[in-house]
Structure 1
Amino acid sequence: MQSPSPSRGPRKLDIATRVVHTGERPARPDFVPVTTPIYPSASFVYEDLDVMDQALGGAEDAFVYTRYGNPTTRALEVAVADLEGTETAFAFASGMGALHAAIMTSIAPGDAIVASRDLYGATYAMLNGQLREWGCRVEFVDMLDLEAVGAAIERLRPALVVCEVISNPLLRVTDVPAVVEMAHRVGATVMVDATFCPTLYAPAADGADLVIHSLTKYIGGHGDVTGGIVATSKERRERLATFARTTGATIGPFEAWLALRGLKTLPLRMERHCANAAAIASALVEHPLVAHVNYPGLTSHPSHATARRLFGERGYGGMISFEIKDGGREQVFAFLSALELIVPATSLGDVYSLALYPAMSSHRALTPEERAAYGIGDGLVRISVGIEAPEDILADLDQALRAAAGTSR
């Protein structure tokens, strides 16, 4: 449907009409753009109303209204599905939006859910609060204790099992294949958050039903987009799409385009994130002002063997956490304030190195007792290692640790 001609009809259109319509809705081009365009249109029209009727009825890759679907967003979904090895994917306005939709389309009121006890704080809060209020029986278990996981699954016969490949902030690695096998034995759906390990491990290859990514993190990679995505089957995508349409949780085309752009350099960035993190974790183990380092690439980490089996030679991720020696809230605040290169911000996966205090941010929703039970001490700091020169990151960590300890270099 082309824009009206300025002289169309019995008289020339008024300027107020022409400035609105002239140049809009051009004929389909016979060229192909090198990069996916941003389609900011809220709605789409068709010359053939029968085709529009089919589009409104949900025909695949037919677009009528951006809350229902958008060409830019669809390009992102196709790319992430290919990354994760799933049939399809559906994008949301945030990572938590993707998590919420994946959970709510997999359960019914009163169902049982078995979940990892050290999930991302907001995920834990949603399961422990909203889902319990909805009548669900939620049991949190140590995902590294496969015997306890199996016992909970056999006893509760859950509709859903929720875990992360790499936990936040202790970086414990779940044996996803083992959990999937136990869950599927009782007919449970398995949802795996793989935000920390894109390109390193694809949970769907081992049977995960729903794979979640916060697009805000490594896939976007530049700290300039908020979004989430669920990689899954076509059948489950239909449920997710219906949920998104009725809740308005779909991502916008500008955000989808930024995430798609970030995806193109993801493998290169992940190589650098992993290499930098491995070097920095090894150095921090020897630092006199660091009590303990959590990094699955260290042979001392309780999940090292599992991580090596799942990730192979691809690396162990770009996340590190460590305990400041004799540290508490005061020392952590002094450390964060002294940082000069590393940015104290509540995110991860950016090209910049970022530092976060879990007790204040990601796990603020947990009580001090809950954090202590899960091993999240008051002196724990999490670092999202960026792609800067590793010697510069180490130098900044060293001077900030010394500043926090009240000593000079």
Structure 2
Amino acid sequence: MNEDQRFETQAIRQQIDGTHAQEHSTPLYLTSSFTYENSEEMRAAFAGEIDKNIYSRFSNPNTQEFVDKICAMEGAEAGYAFASGMAAVFSTFAALLAAGDNIISCRSIFGSTHTVFNKILPKWNITTTYVDLKDTDSWQEVVKENTKLLYVETPTNPGVDLVDLSWVSEFTKKNDLILVVDNCFATPYLQQPIKFGADLVIHSATKFIDGQGRVLGGVTVGRQDLIDEIYAFSRSTGPSMSPFNAWVLSKSLETLAVRMDRHCDNALKLAQFLESNDQIAWVKYPFLPSHPQHEIANRQMSAGGGVVSFGIKGGLERGKRFLDEIKMCSLTANLGDSRTIVTHPSSTTHAKLTEGERQKVDITPELIRVSVGLEHIDDIIVDIQQALNHSI
């Protein structure tokens, strides 16, 4: 691996050497286990004295290629690939935390992560304290002796709010906390949290990394010592990514840069269109000057990403009619697809939160989240405009 190569080159040229038929494209390694030349090689492999594949739940050439690419893109020392984004989230916490530990988390996080914090981890006496992104001065007050980890999304789901990664890194170092950043919305092409001081970065590879709504996957990368703990936990509990999905996702990374360029260009144009539309109450997109953290976005992101959130005038009932009038765009809870996706978070992705919890993170009934795809921007805008017109 040439560390001097640019992002796009790393994504394409970091791959397994062709050792069987001198293949140009990485082959699939659909095997559950691996063989050895003799008993001593097998013993040394199981003892960790030599770097050999043992079992695809532990490692596989396809999953390793995918992890190596993400590590190169994020500037990470090591990583582990999971069957889904939520497998990565849960396994990271389960590996690093013990009974009695406390997590600090920004309040604006994915609905399923809320469920892990509120319903699953408390079974093992692991507690979560939520903090407000808009009131970072209050964060120091909630740090406890048993606080071990701080978790943030930036941009957040679904409100596309931002966390100042430089500030939060200084905060965690001052308080001796592990900083874990969900970088799903930005992808490593637009933002590399480790460069700002993050210890671990998590991705739901199902989203923009795959980019075409085909497979599930997740990955955690970062400090070697922390990944060692995550690997040990995951090797025994089995949340590993399949070789086939790793092969698909590694291929997807080869086009991540060009796809994200189009996602970002389309999203900015859609945000500008919405901001000028009198049927829209508000619009949030990191690279709009009106975004509350626009300055932070320019400092830590190279572009604004592929997600736009907005509030439609007329509230919940108008929002329902708007979704029902969508013709070309897709109605689904996924994001990061080549196809534009329109979602109503309060009734779908964040439905398990209480009304009070949603209000605290500004997930209002009129909020619409658009994962802007790769179609021609004029066609996306036409569909959004006609749905607005027919939902009045």
**Superposition TM-score, scaled by structure 1 size:** 0.88
Confirm whether residue 218 of structure 1 aligns to residue 185 of structure 2: no
Q: What is the percent sequence identity of the aligned residues?
A: 35
Distance 1:206 1:251, change over 3 A: same
Instruction: Give, in whole Å, the separation in 2 of the partners of 1:39 and 1:175.
Output: 41
Q: Which amino acid aligns with 1:336?
A: L
Q: CA deviation at 1:134?
A: 1.9
> What is the total number of aligned residue pairs between the two structures?
374
- For each residue in 1:181-201, what CA deviation from the matched residue of structure 2 results, as whole angstroms up to 9, or x when unmatched? 111112111110000001111
The one of 112, 117, 141 aligned to 1:122: 112
User: Where do 1:253-292 residues align within 5 Å?
Assistant: 253-292=243-282
The one of 181, 190, 196 aligned to 1:192: 181
Aligned to 2:310: 322
The one of 155, 158, 170 aligned to 1:181: 170
Confirm whether residue 105 of structure 1 aligns to residue 92 of structure 2: no
Q: CA deviation at 1:152?
A: 2.3
Aligned to 2:129: 139
- SS across alignment from 2:96: coil
Confirm whether residue 383 of structure 1 aligns to residue 370 of structure 2: yes
Instruction: Give, in whole Å, the separation in 1 of the partners of 2:76 and 2:290.
Output: 34
Aligned-CA RMSD value: 1.5
Deviates more, 1:276-285 or 1:331-340: 331-340
Instruction: Determine if contact 1:157/1:186 at 8 Å carries over to the other structure.
Output: no
- SS across alignment from 1:226: coil
Instruction: Give, in whole Å, the separation in 1 of the partners of 2:171 and 2:180.
Output: 13
Instruction: Give, in whole Å, the separation in 2 of the partners of 1:201 and 1:59.
Output: 36
Aligned to 1:39: 29
Instruction: Give, in whole Å, the separation in 1 of the partners of 2:175 and 2:49.
Output: 34
Runs of 4+ aligned residues of structure 1 deviating over 4 Å after TM superposition are 28-31
Instruction: Determine if contact 1:214/1:229 at 8 Å carries over to the other structure.
Output: yes
Confirm whether residue 159 of structure 1 aligns to residue 148 of structure 2: yes
- For each residue in 1:335-393, what CA deviation from the matched residue of structure 2 results, as whole angstroms up to 9, or x when unmatched? 22221111011111111111111012211110112112221111111000011111110
The one of 352, 363, 367 aligned to 1:365: 352
Instruction: Give, in whole Å, the separation in 1 of the partners of 2:114 and 2:261.
Output: 30
Instruction: Give, in whole Å, the separation in 1 of the partners of 2:265 and 2:19.
Output: 45
Distance 1:188 1:179, change over 3 A: same
Distance 1:70 1:142, change over 3 A: same
Instruction: Give, in whole Å, the separation in 2 of the partners of 1:140 and 1:63.
Output: 41
Instruction: Give, in whole Å, the separation in 1 of the partners of 2:220 and 2:274.
Output: 35
The one of 304, 308, 321 aligned to 2:294: 304
Structure (1 or 2) with the larger CA radius of gyration:
1
User: Greater relative contact order (Cα 8 A, min sep 6): structure 1 or 2?
Assistant: 2
Q: CA deviation at 1:137?
A: 2.9
Instruction: Give, in whole Å, the separation in 2 of the partners of 1:72 and 1:376.
Output: 39
| Uncovered stretches (5+) of structure 1, i.e. residues with no partner | 1-27
- SS across alignment from 1:352: coil
Q: Which amino acid aligns with 1:168?
A: N
- For each residue in 1:197-240, what CA deviation from the matched residue of structure 2 results, as whole angstroms up to 9, or x when unmatched? 01111001111111000010111111001010001122222211
Instruction: Determine if contact 2:104/2:149 at 8 Å carries over to the other structure.
Output: yes
Confirm whether residue 350 of structure 1 aligns to residue 337 of structure 2: yes
Distance 1:278 1:247, change over 3 A: same
- SS across alignment from 1:159: strand
